[in-house]
Amino acid sequence: MIIESILTTTDANGQVNCAPMGVEWGEELIVIKPFQNTATYRNLMAHNTAVVNLTDNVLLIAQSAIASPVFPTRPAVRIDGVVLQDVCSWREVEIETIDTHEPRARIATRVVYRGFAREFLGFNRARHAVLEAAILATRTHILPREQILAEFERLQVIVDKTAGAQEHEAMQLLTDYVYAAVGAP
């Protein structure tokens, strides 16, 4: 099963990278599949650790999908890394195996610590829509323009019907980004 998260990694200088990442979820083993030309991959290779942050804050997911934001963090418990402040729960992981035969590496990690900060509020339809929009925003260079615009139009209807302020802000951020990347309808 793929679970959407925000992965935090650090570079050689301790600079934090926050990247939205669908991970293959397991209680003891989590598989991370970053593209090999990304900061996430380079950081994983440099430190062999990461934090898989689970949050219900879709604005964080939207921001990290289209930019390199710096979010408030705190030190991880068992690894040399950081945990997002606005996190429901997290897993600190260490790399066990790496397969680089595909453009997206397959990195199997072992969970070395489980943390809990607050209850997961959950996702209403608008949060799911924003999550899907964030994924689309990361694929503007891959998917046809018409497909992206049609999906954004469909997702906007859901946001308009069911969103709160955070979801509206996140969707507007993603819409502006996508329109700049592929052109407005």
Together in a domain, 133 and 151: yes
pTM value is 0.91
| Contact yes or no for 112/101 (Cβ under 8 A) | no
Q: Last residue of a domain, which of 65, 94, 116?
A: 116
DSSP class of 126 = H
Together in a domain, 39 and 108: yes
Together in a domain, 29 and 102: yes
Q: Is the pLDDT score of 22 beyond 90? A: yes
Together in a domain, 12 and 93: yes
Together in a domain, 152 and 112: no
CA–CA distance, 185 with 175 (Å, rounded to integer) = 11
Together in a domain, 7 and 90: yes
Together in a domain, 36 and 91: yes
Position 67 scores a pLDDT of: 94
Domain count, the chain: 2
Together in a domain, 74 and 134: no
Lowest mean pLDDT among 49-53, 72-76, 123-127: 123-127
Band (10; pLDDT cuts 50, 70, 90): very high
- Overall size of the chain counted in residues: 185
Together in a domain, 41 and 85: yes
Residue keyed to tokens 């959407």: 4
Together in a domain, 61 and 130: no
Residue keyed to tokens 């615009």: 149
Position 143 scores a pLDDT of: 96
What percentage of residues in the chain have a pLDDT greater than 90?
Answer: 97
Looking up residue 159, the CATH number of its domain turns out to be 1.20.58.290
Together in a domain, 14 and 55: yes
Together in a domain, 139 and 170: yes
Both tokens of 33, joined, read: 């599949």
112-127 pLDDT, tens per residue?
999 999 999 877 899 9
Going by C-alpha positions, the residue among 69, 52, 46, 37 that lies closest to residue 6 is 52
Q: Last residue of a domain, which of 77, 94, 116?
A: 116
| Contact yes or no for 182/136 (Cβ under 8 A) | no
Cβ atoms within 10 Å, residue 118 = 11
Helices 125-137 and 145-162, packing angle to 10 deg = 160
- What is the domain extent for residue 88? 2-116
- The whole-chain average pLDDT of the chain stands at 96
Position 122 scores a pLDDT of: 74
Angle at 79 between CA 7 and CA 46, to 5 degrees: 65
